[in-house]
Each structure stands twice: as structure tokens, then as C-alpha cells.
Amino acid sequence: MTNRTAFITGASRGIGRACAMALSDAGARVAVAARNADQLEELASQIRSEQREAFPIAVDMTSADSIKEALAKTAKDFGPVSILVNNAGITKDGLAMRMKKDDWDSVIATNLTGSFLAIQQVLPAMMRERWGRIINISSVVGKSGNPGQANYVASKAGLIGLTKAIAQEMASRNITVNAVAPGYIETDMTHGLSDELKTKMLDHIPLKRIGRPEDVAAAVRFLASEEASYITGHVLDVNGGLYM
């Protein structure tokens, strides 16, 4: 993937940051996108310090205009996007019977609709090049379900369906579309969990450890590579055996 431009959403921390580092290590030029400009600039500086190319770009994944502008600016100033990693995601948990519509809407807008809009923006250039990699970060709960997360689960299950639909639409253009479904990963999103809850989780994970962002990034790097050119419409589980 040397000199190909990768665009990673939610890149300022956690899994997105690890994906940016992994793709950069593999030779890609990385556009790192998120809302927090300071964190993006720090990440871009780190990548540049290793003589690699990085392009920090602010984006609001709930805004169609922001997504369109960020991808247009990336293509103009940094190069057409050949690899898209839809990683940005939020949670607003609550039992379904008490969930506010705003909490439903914002999670679906960020996690699912934003991913779809980003895909729409990158497809024309990928089709012209007859080469592309789209990797959507789903979740184990998108396959297993999880109480108290109806909005998040629906968004992550929706990403799996979206992955398979776009994979079928784009296969003839040599564009692969895959998903990665992480299990419990040590990120800011899981950092606040109690020790008791973490111990309970570990009881259900055959590999007996919580995953690292780098575990997910390794799967993303593989799916973005030439070695994965005959894989499309697939959901790669990175969960330590939590859900089989």
C-alpha cells in the first residue's frame, strides 16, 4: 500500500490511532480525521517524526457537509483516498424502554450514517482507479447483541449489512469492502469499567485477556493489503474467542 492515501475516522485515540500508525508503518500516507484537532496534530507530528506522511483533518461524522468537505480537502491537498477506515463511534447507553430518541439518533448518525456518507464520497475515485479498500469497524455486539445498548448494537449490526451490500455493488471494480468486529478492547471507551466488570468479562474470553488497539489495527492493515485482495464482504472477528 506504499504511497496510497488512507483516511481513518476517529483517529485521534484508541483503535483509530492504532490503525493510523499501522497503515503508516505499512507505507500508506495517512489522513487522520476526528473532532479533536489538538490530538490529531499530535498524532500527525508523531507520524511525521518517523519520516512518514500524515494529514490531520477535522471532521464531524454527524454532518454530511463536514464529511464531504473533509474528504474533498483530503483528496485535493493530500491525494485521492484509496483506503477508508470507518472507525469513528460513540455510545449513549440505556435500556430501550427509557432510551431518549436523541440518544438513538446521535449514535446511529455517527456510527452508521456517517460511515455510509464517507463511503459515498470515496467511491468515485476508487472506481476510477479500479482499486479500493473500505474497512468498517463494527463490534462483537453487532453480532451477539447486548442489553442496554440497543442504539449502539443496531449501528454496529447495520455496519455489517452495509459492508456486505457495498461489497456486492463494488466487487466488479476491484474494490473490497470488509468489516472488523472487535471484542473488548482496552480503550477510553472501556477504561471506565470497574475491576469487577473487567474480571467478569475475562471469564468469558477464552484467551483470558482484554484486547489491545494494536490487535484490531493488525486486522485492518491486513484487509487493506494486497494479500487480502480476494476477501470481500467478510467480517473479521478480533475478540479473543469471546463470541464464536
10 Å CB burial of residue 84 (0-12, 13-18, 19+) is buried
Write down the catalytic residue from 152, 184, 230, 243: 152
Here the cell at position 73 is 480537502
Q: Is 152 a catalytic residue?
A: yes
User: Are the C-beta atoms of 184 and 242 separated by less than 8 Å?
Assistant: yes
User: Are the C-beta atoms of 192 and 184 separated by less than 8 Å?
Assistant: no
Instruction: Enumerate the H helices of the chain as residue ranges.
Output: 14-25, 37-48, 64-77, 101-108, 114-129, 141-144, 150-170, 188-191, 195-203, 213-223
Distance between CA 233 and CA 134 in Å, rounded? 10
Instruction: Write the CB contacts of 196 (distance below 8 Å, at least 6 apart in sequence).
Output: none
User: Are the C-beta atoms of 238 and 209 separated by less than 8 Å?
Assistant: no
The residues annotated with a catalytic role in the active site are 152
